[in-house]
Amino acid sequence: MPDLLAGPAGEVGERSLAVRTLLGTPFLVADADPDGFAAVARHRSWLIEWFEDTCGWALAVDLPGRFARLTKRSARPDPTRPARRSRGQKLPFDRRRYELLARLCAELATHQVTTIGILAGALAGESAGAFDSSLQRERAAFVDAFRQLGAWGVVRFEGGDLDGYVSDRQGNALVFVDSGRVHRLLAPSLAPCRVEADTTAQAVDRLAAEPRYGPGDDVDDEDEVEDFGVDDRHRPGDERRRRRARHALARRLLDDPVVHVDELDEEERAYLASPSGRRWLRDRVGEAGLVLEERTEGLLAVDPDAVATDQRFPAPNSTVRQVALILVDHLVTGVAGSRVLAERSSAELASQVARLLGDHPNWARDYQDDDGAARLVASALDLLASLGLVVLERTPGGDPDGVSGGVVARPRPALARYAVAPLEGALL
């Protein structure tokens, strides 16, 4: 493992910081993080090779454009990390907002300077899914999509009020477009304009395919493939499969909160079980400046500085995170010498939290009403599920929102590391 004691001022420390910065912010804009971008720019050659070899991810560093784009391809798509609205309660994007986001990008690709009004007119029409500026809900979705592009540094606004367009369809503003950033947003192996599919599901599969790992990815014509990394299509089959397993493991270890062995396929488990494979993973994790926790049940890569993560757990000043930590001791039970993972229904857990709310009436005031305990437990379980620490299973007849006891929480082994006084070497 590389010497990480060189410190942040040394080359090794700066490279590891650059890796974690890109993991946490794969679309890195110099205006938002000048120090992070400077580190990435200084070590761009090493980083490009490192990400390609470790994860099969392409890294583009545009020095004149002052941005870097790490084109992550997930080993396991994660529905718990949606785009979120930057206004109001920061709710997840719905289908309409994603649709308008994609259509805006298509329009912006041909503009350098435009206006909100011109773009709204371009998205309107009589076709299915056309933008209807007469509806406030449509204008709100339009603005949320635009604000996301602004957060990525793809567009900036002058001479008007973007948010004002929600309440007044006559609102307007100048839109300045960075076309280089627009074209770097998507990361498919096959250009979207060349996708042939009868259904949305087929189109998603085609866009998510990675032909570099050989047959079975639903892309057969090599001329159609726009490979973002080293071309592996002519490697021997066994070597391609090993490379796929290695990349899949590294992607999950660097990008997921926890990797449980029982979630891996046969090739991934075999690579992880081999001494050379385990050593390779340890070295890559060390080069990223992460601390690797290894147990029988799985692996966990911890960032002590929380640079590479989008969620901290445990974390202060959060009622939901506090309750999530409290729930751990109801899901992981046992006495000295043993630990037992116990399935619990959301109704059982809500009764425990309701008791706490009753004992502490000045705590969690937003949840002191009749269904406050159920809402708090639902949010806490969603958090634990997003971290890979529990699996939520809906029970027949339950409330689809999980508020009326229609959810069972099945703890995963890694949850035990957060239990009170965890046993040495027990679980994770």
Output the pLDDT for position 337: 55
Output the pLDDT for position 75: 64
Write the pLDDT tens digit of every residue in 266-307: 999 999 999 999 999 999 999 999 999 998 889 999 898 889
**Any domain includes 362:** yes
Helices (H), 225-303: 237-255, 266-273, 275-287
**For range 183-210, the mean pLDDT:** 82
Domain boundary among 182, 197, 222: 182
Mean pLDDT across the chain: 84
Closest CA to 141 of 203, 94, 77, 197: 94
403 — pLDDT class (breaks 50, 70, 90): very low
Core vs surface per residue 224-245: b (16+ CB within 10 A) or e: ebeebbeebeebeeeebbbbbb
Instruction: Give the separation between CA 207 and CA 46, rounded to whole angstroms.
Output: 28
More confident residue, 405 or 323: 323
What DSSP string runs through 344-360?
EEHHHHHHHHHHHHHH-
Output the pLDDT for position 10: 85
Q: Scanning the structure block, which residue is given the tokens 């639903």?
A: 218
**Any domain includes 80:** no
Residues 121 and 37 in one domain: no
335 — pLDDT class (breaks 50, 70, 90): low
CB 319 within 8 A of CB 325: no
Strands (E) in 252-411, as ranges, are: 259-260, 291-294, 298-302, 332-333, 340-341, 344-345, 390-394, 407-411
**Any domain includes 146:** yes
Output the pLDDT for position 196: 86
From 73-77, 136-140, 300-304, 348-352, the region with the lowest mean pLDDT: 73-77
Q: Which residues lie below 8 Å from residue 57, measured CB to CB, with a gap of 6+? A: 51, 70, 71, 72, 73, 229, 251
Residues 324 and 390 in one domain: yes
Strands (E) in 100-151, as ranges, are: 113-115
Q: Scanning the structure block, which residue is given the tokens 């229904």?
A: 345
Instruction: Give the separation between CA 17 and CA 39, rounded to whole angstroms.
Output: 8
Instruction: Give the separation between CA 51 and CA 71, rounded to whole angstroms.
Output: 10
- Which amino acid, residue 182? V
- Which amino acid, residue 383? L
328 — pLDDT class (breaks 50, 70, 90): very high
**Any domain includes 252:** yes
Residues 105 and 25 in one domain: no
pLDDT surpasses 50 at 227: no
Output the pLDDT for position 217: 42
Output the pLDDT for position 408: 93
Tally of domains within the chain: 4
Domain boundary among 258, 276, 302: 302
**Any domain includes 189:** no
Q: Scanning the structure block, which residue is given the tokens 């601390």?
A: 291
CATH number for position 378: 1.10.10
Output the pLDDT for position 132: 92
**For range 91-115, the mean pLDDT:** 92
Write the pLDDT tens digit of every residue in 182-196: 988 887 777 777 888
**For range 39-45, the mean pLDDT:** 97
Instruction: Give the separation between CA 187 and CA 69, rounded to whole angstroms.
Output: 10
Residues 246 and 278 in one domain: yes
Output the pLDDT for position 232: 52
Residues 8 and 60 in one domain: yes
pLDDT surpasses 90 at 58: yes
- Which amino acid, residue 335? V
pLDDT surpasses 80 at 398: no
Domain boundary among 274, 302, 330: 302
Range of the domain at 20: 4-71
**Any domain includes 214:** yes
How many CA atoms within 13 Å lie on the side-chain side of 424? Answer: 0
Residues 329 and 292 in one domain: no
Write the pLDDT tens digit of every residue in 248-268: 999 999 988 789 999 999 999
Structure tokens at 181: 């950033």
**Any domain includes 428:** no
Does a cis peptide bond (omega within 30 degrees of 0) precede residue 314? yes
Structure tokens at 376: 């708090």
Output the pLDDT for position 421: 53
**Any domain includes 127:** yes
CA distance to 172, 210, 245, 267, 287, per residue, from 271 (Å) = 56, 20, 7, 6, 20
Instruction: Give the separation between CA 389 and CA 258, rounded to whole angstroms.
Output: 8
Instruction: Give the separation between CA 78 and CA 311, rounded to whole angstroms.
Output: 14
Output the pLDDT for position 334: 72
pLDDT surpasses 80 at 8: no
Residues 377 and 404 in one domain: yes
